[in-house]
Amino acid sequence: MNRSVFLAIIFFLTITVFLPAQSYSAIDRDQEVREAVSAFVKAKTSSMGWDVKIRRITISDALKFPEGAVEYEIVAPQQWEGWGNISIAVIARQKEKVIRNIPVRIDVEALAEAVVTLRQIDIGAIISAADLVLQKREITQNSHLAVRKLDEVIGKKARTTLKANQPVRADQIEKVPLIKSGQLVTILAENEVMKISVSGKARSSGAEGDIIWVQNLTSLKEISARIINATTVQVAF
């Protein structure tokens, strides 16, 4: 075999072996996917007033994609609120063509301010400012019921025993009734030119601002009225 034939064979093998590998060279996209997921979580929770931290992003697939720009679309469960441990999909596209659907598991910690008890509060007790503190707590399944402001709890009555160092839920408290069912009240009706008051009897209990049923003791008719104070209700006139 002469030298020119030998060099031709070497050149042919070089073209065959190495050039296809270069044309299909791939880049590790793991960090890009993680950054896309982080940006999605940040956007999802930015308006909620939470302190959010991604504890873990788990990607099981090897993410070797061809060279060139890649666009990522995040698909999460529609009911996902932005916290907890869930599975999402990351759809990777190049030149508007889907090249990979990547399953990703994320664990997101979210902290929000909540009203927390400093001590045990027994059922029926009136809650005072000394019983409470505002603290950041991790979002949980019942967090949509957690009270966020102190003034929404102070002065309310505990509907159930509240354990110490626990967030207060809206369904655990109620307004203190100013008027009780069966109580005698003054029914007030007034406008810019006239004011009328008659005696009545409460047919239900309620707190200030609540609408209750009362009976006009003169006509014996029952009407709805708004509680003004501990002895007075007001009807529209």
Q: pLDDT for 59-105, tens place per residue? A: 988 888 888 999 999 999 998 989 999 999 999 999 989 999 999 99
The CATH architecture one would assign to domain 112-174 is Alpha-Beta Complex (3.90)
Residue pLDDT, tens place only, 187-198:
999 888 888 999
User: pLDDT value at position 4?
Assistant: 54
Give the mean pLDDT of the chain.
87
For residue 207, pLDDT over 80 is answered with: yes
CA dihedral 26, 28, 34, 36 (to 10 degrees): -30
Please count the other Cβ atoms lying within 10 Å of the Cβ belonging to residue 5.
Answer: 9
The CATH architecture one would assign to domain 25-110 is Roll (3.10)
Q: Count Cα neighbours of 174 within 13 Å in the Cβ-side half-sphere.
A: 12
25-110 matches 112-174 in fold: no
pTM above 0.85, yes or no: no
User: pLDDT value at position 8?
Assistant: 45
What is each CA distance from 232 to 40, 115, 210, in whole angstroms?
A: 54, 32, 12
For residue 111, pLDDT over 60 is answered with: yes
User: pLDDT value at position 3?
Assistant: 55
- pLDDT level of residue 22 (50, 70, 90 thresholds): very low
The CATH architecture one would assign to domain 184-234 is Roll (2.30)
What is each CA distance from 165 to 34, 95, 151, in whole angstroms?
A: 36, 54, 18
Residue ranges of domains in the chain = 25-110, 112-174, 184-234
